[in-house]
Copies of this chain bind each other. A is one copy, B any other.
């Protein structure tokens, strides 16, 4: 399929997502947007702002307050010809839907030998850094990434937010779409388009560098880039890989980047134990072993419940923690 970039606009991430939904609703009458407060209110982050007014109650609507119900309803809609895009209001409020996600959304295609496909998207505002109270700042990607049958993506900027969401809606497979809450208000240039390109599954090198590779995704990408900028002032050249897609995983780009530098630090907000960061470190260790001059380091959230606002700065991977990890990469051997 071809992509026709129609125009460029400067948008915040939330606006880019809104635009992606609007363009998808306009292009494909089977696209439906629903969830809690996504109708007249336009979503608590205003990602669905104006959609009910523009496309009517049948296309963008509020549901009863029940996440398993929302996810199960989406399964049925998708079974019967629709492309549902459901919103979970916050990361932790997707957990009631977990059974539906793991036992049905992830398994339906496989169960039916490809006869029933579920082209649905579950949008999840995720991660912290916004001073949110308990249950409003979880990084839940490991739960989804560990579950075979789901695609899991996380944009790190408005342009990717737009294009990945278009791709996710166009995908014949269920996509868990993680929206970094703290980037909702960040602005950037967005290439709008019609049609789609095969976007899910490709990582991108955001910044070239020669000394070590930072591997990040979603909300951690801007921090990694900032760390690379600071390091550059100190004469250390850090490369930054933005995964964009956690599943599928772009081994080629990641391994290429790590092999070119011989050192790697994985950066992610989620608690580190048995996480996506673990996976990245394990893969890089397995695949790039002989290129590595130092162990792969992980800078992640600690293995604690997400802290209250007054303490969250300590949980989030910071420029300092990233640079500390880089410093640890046994440079004496270099």
Interface residues of A, Cβ cutoff 8 Å to B: 68, 92, 95-96, 98-99, 102-103, 106-107, 110-111, 134-135, 142-143, 145-149, 246-247, 249, 270-271, 273-279, 281-282, 285-287, 289, 292, 294-298, 302-305
In the assembled complex, which residues on chain B have CB atoms less than 8 Å from the CB atom of A106? 305
Kindly report which residue of chain B lies nearest to residue A287, judged by CB atoms: B295
- Are the C-beta atoms of B286 and A295 separated by less than 8 Å? yes
| Bound Cα distance from A142 to B287, whole angstroms | 22
- Are the C-beta atoms of A281 and B286 separated by less than 8 Å? yes
| Bound Cα distance from A148 to B270, whole angstroms | 11
In the assembled complex, which residues on chain B have CB atoms less than 8 Å from the CB atom of A303? 148
Shortest CB-to-CB span from A266 to chain B, Å, is 9
Query: A285: which of B96, B146, B246, B285 is its contact (CB, 8 Å)?
Result: B285
Shortest CB-to-CB span from A111 to chain B, Å, is 7
Shortest CB-to-CB span from A267 to chain B, Å, is 14
| Residue from A92, A95, A302 having most chain B Cβ neighbours under 10 A | A95
In the assembled complex, which residues on chain B have CB atoms less than 8 Å from the CB atom of A295? 285-287, 289
- Are the C-beta atoms of B98 and A111 separated by less than 8 Å? no
| Bound Cα distance from A216 to B250, whole angstroms | 28
In the assembled complex, which residues on chain B have CB atoms less than 8 Å from the CB atom of A111? 134, 305
Kindly report which residue of chain B lies nearest to residue A333, judged by CB atoms: B290
| Bound Cα distance from A273 to B287, whole angstroms | 14
| Bound Cα distance from A302 to B279, whole angstroms | 14
In the assembled complex, which residues on chain B have CB atoms less than 8 Å from the CB atom of A149? 304-305
Given A146-B270, A278-B281: 7 more A-B contacts, CB < 8 Å: A110-B305, A111-B305, A142-B142, A149-B305, A281-B281, A285-B296, A286-B297
| Bound Cα distance from A274 to B135, whole angstroms | 22
- Are the C-beta atoms of B282 and A296 separated by less than 8 Å? yes
- Are the C-beta atoms of A271 and B95 separated by less than 8 Å? no
Shortest CB-to-CB span from A279 to chain B, Å, is 4
In the assembled complex, which residues on chain B have CB atoms less than 8 Å from the CB atom of A287? 295
Query: A146: which of B92, B271, B298 is its contact (CB, 8 Å)?
Result: B271
| Bound Cα distance from A92 to B246, whole angstroms | 23
Kindly report which residue of chain B lies nearest to residue A99, judged by CB atoms: B95
